Structure 1
Amino acid sequence: MPESAKDSYQYRISNAITFIEENLKNVLTLDRIAQEACYSKYHFIRLFAAVTGETVVNYVRKRRVSESAHELILTQEPIVAIAERYQFDSQQAYTRAFQSVFKTSPGKYRKKRHRFVAFERYTLSPADINKLQSDFVSMEPKIITIIDRKLIGMRIKTSLSNDTTSQMWQQFMPRRFEIKNNKNTGYYSVQTYDEDITFDTFTEDVIFEKWAAVEVTDFNQVPEGMVSYLLPGGKYAIFIHKGPVDTFKKTMDYIHGKWLPNSGYELDQRNHFAIMGDKYHGPHHPKSEEEIWVPIQ
């Protein structure tokens, strides 16, 4: 196979999927799967989601559940034994995952002898390969290198399952004028994760930090109830997202699934962030624009 084909993101993601499928009954780590795709872990998790529409964690969980369903029908093994073979920590954890996929419990599924696979192996098709090119083919970023930036604002601890980001912004915006050393470069939305979060521990209930902030000249005056944050400098690719928030996923899919794999860059392990400036008219405005800053190396 030509080297260019081996280097393509389609080939790499297909390799990762094959590795997952061959190891559904074995311990899987995100580091090992990313290694199979020849990407850094940080880069791989975003590319995988952009291409398949699923996080790596969800894909593995759903495939394990779907394959285990065959054994519920074809064997009389205890449910707990099947759960353990597919790397679930307990029968309770297996039951929760099973219900999320099949909308019924393993016991009821076995009793009714259902015979269908709810979540099949993902196969890259020509449509999948081209889907990220259609809407944003001309979206070329600006590449710049910045020094560390000082931010002051509010932060919350939130999760995907109980997202309180909008409440944070509602609290921050009326108080933004209290920040006297504001450089007036826009409003920053930053998300930070605990370094200890792994493939095995990340779920929709994992807590992470979300920031609503502005850039400042110094940290000498931090209003009560606000905090300071030093945003790491480095090289960034800056994209412009145009339109309401419900089209944001298309922008991110293009960035991570199309532009990045063909750019010659890889993601760096710094924070993604967004800047909302004068052209931002609110999350639902069709003509809103915001800058998406992607850390690269």
Structure 2
Amino acid sequence: MNSEIIQVDQKTIVGMKLEMSLLENQTPGLWQKFMPKLNSISNRLDNHLISMTIYPSDYFQNFNPSNRFKKWAGIEVSKAATLFDELEIIKIPSGLYVRFLYQGLPSQAGPFYQSIFQEWLPKSGYKLDNRPHFELMGDKYKNNDPSSEEMIYIPVMK
């Protein structure tokens, strides 16, 4: 599992959010609702999509698949734009992240994430930081294709 510790600058995201749990995963519906609004968002930095998760501070200490979190579907913008139609702005604070490349189907990512939290993190010398987790889906992202690639960003601190 290749990883890289990087400093990520603050990001301004325009998107939509839903509260959900792993047992009641509504991520596909969130993206179906967001994608038709994509072309109306001004000041976009690029065409990369950002899937972001904001977990409660005790989410991983008391892990249960029914625990709830906020999931965002969005895109990075250079500055805040006029918002409409359920779109919101959120900032990802700057900080250290560990970055992983994931290749495969979203439905099969569970074991990959499990190895990050149960194997990589305990051996890394880092611990989780309480900031948003996010995935960047760029040019090599192909929805529901086994050759699809995305970058996973997990917030860490020494």
TM bucket by the smaller chain? 0.7 to 0.9
Question: Which residue does 2:121 correspond to in 1?
Answer: 260
Residues 256 and 214 from structure 1, CA distance in 2 versus in 1: closer, same or farther, beyond 3 angstroms? same
Question: Which residue does 2:89 correspond to in 1?
Answer: 228
* Matching residue's letter, 2:10: D
Instruction: Output the CA distance in 1 between the equivalents of 2:140 and 2:60.
Output: 37
Matched residue of 1:219: which SS? coil
Question: Which residue does 1:187 correspond to in 2?
Answer: 49
Question: Which residue does 1:69 correspond to in 2?
Answer: none
* Matching residue's letter, 2:70: E
Instruction: Output the CA distance in 2 between the equivalents of 1:205 and 1:211.
Output: 18
Question: Which residue does 1:218 correspond to in 2?
Answer: 79
- Conserved? CA contact 1:181–1:221, under 8 Å: no
Instruction: Output the CA distance in 1 between the equivalents of 2:110 and 2:15.
Output: 26
Higher relative contact order (CA 8 A, sep 6+): 2
Alignment pair present for 1:241 and 2:102: yes
* Matching residue's letter, 1:144: I
Instruction: Output the CA distance in 2 between the equivalents of 1:239 and 1:196.
Output: 23
Instruction: Output the CA distance in 2 between the equivalents of 1:150 and 1:223.
Output: 16
- Conserved? CA contact 2:57–2:130, under 8 Å: no
Q: CA deviation at 1:211?
A: 0.4
* Matching residue's letter, 2:138: G
Matched residue of 2:127: which SS? coil
Instruction: Output the CA distance in 1 between the equivalents of 2:54 and 2:94.
Output: 15
Residues 157 and 262 from structure 1, CA distance in 2 versus in 1: closer, same or farther, beyond 3 angstroms? closer
Question: Which residue does 1:170 correspond to in 2?
Answer: 32
Structure 1 gaps, min length 5: 1-138
Percentage of pairs with the same residue: 34
* Matching residue's letter, 1:152: V
Residues 185 and 255 from structure 1, CA distance in 2 versus in 1: closer, same or farther, beyond 3 angstroms? farther
Question: Which residue does 2:136 correspond to in 1?
Answer: 275
Structure 2 gaps, min length 5: none
Q: What's the TM-score once normalised by structure 1's chain length? A: 0.48
Instruction: Output the CA distance in 1 between the equivalents of 2:123 and 2:57.
Output: 28
Q: What's the TM-score once normalised by structure 2's chain length? A: 0.87
Point out 4+ residue stretches in structure 1 off by more than 6 angstroms.
Answer: 196-200
For these two proteins, the number of residue pairs brought into alignment is 157
Among 282, 290, 293, the alignment partner of 2:150 is: 290
Q: Return the structure number with greater strand share.
A: 2
Residues 199 and 263 from structure 1, CA distance in 2 versus in 1: closer, same or farther, beyond 3 angstroms? closer
- Conserved? CA contact 1:153–1:213, under 8 Å: yes
- Conserved? CA contact 2:42–2:81, under 8 Å: no
TM-align CA RMSD:
2.2
Q: CA deviation at 1:271?
A: 1.9
Residues 197 and 262 from structure 1, CA distance in 2 versus in 1: closer, same or farther, beyond 3 angstroms? closer
Matched residue of 2:24: which SS? coil
Instruction: Output the CA distance in 1 between the equivalents of 2:115 and 2:50.
Output: 22
- Conserved? CA contact 1:158–1:207, under 8 Å: yes
Q: Return the structure number with greater helix share.
A: 1
How do 1:12-27 and structure 2 match up within 5 A?
none
Greater Rg over alpha carbons, structure: 1
Instruction: Output the CA distance in 2 between the equivalents of 1:268 and 1:238.
Output: 14
